Structure 1
Amino acid sequence: MEPGPSRSGSGAKRQPILGVMHKILLREGQIDQEKEHFWMVGLDVGRRPLFIELVAIGGSYHANIKPAEAHFG
């Protein structure tokens, strides 16, 4: 299920996470595109992004992370 656009307190439209991630990935350019990236995306109860964090850049087929590296609390 893909979340639809919602409105923030200021009335501005917020994009679904797919659109946000697409813009982030386009900004990265050609750097490390052949490597695996492990992203953490935190959402609020309304499924609006709270944070987007690049946790690890791995090899060609995997990114090794420890559970503590993927836990935000």
Structure 2
Amino acid sequence: MSNELHGVTLETIVSRLHAHYGWEQLGLRIDINCFISDPSIKSSLKFLRKTPWARARVEELYVATTFTD
């Protein structure tokens, strides 16, 4: 997984997932409060930087997602 993420910042990951899925779908795919309750990029980054298991799930979703942009 780390090869796919080389050089990709957490902010880029969250921003692209948000643009692709929206907060509601992100919250359904990964059940964490920062995507469900008053979500924002800033609050999500703060939480994910302190919570390794949640960050790993977000990174896994990013790698599994096919972006068409």
Please confirm whether the aligned pair reaches a TM-score higher than 0.5, indicating the same fold.
Answer: no
The structure with the larger Rg is 1
- Structure whose residues are more often strand by fraction: 1
> Larger relative contact order (C-alpha < 8 A, sep ≥ 6)?
2
Please report the TM-score for the alignment, with normalisation by the length of structure 2: 0.31
Please report the TM-score for the alignment, with normalisation by the length of structure 1: 0.30
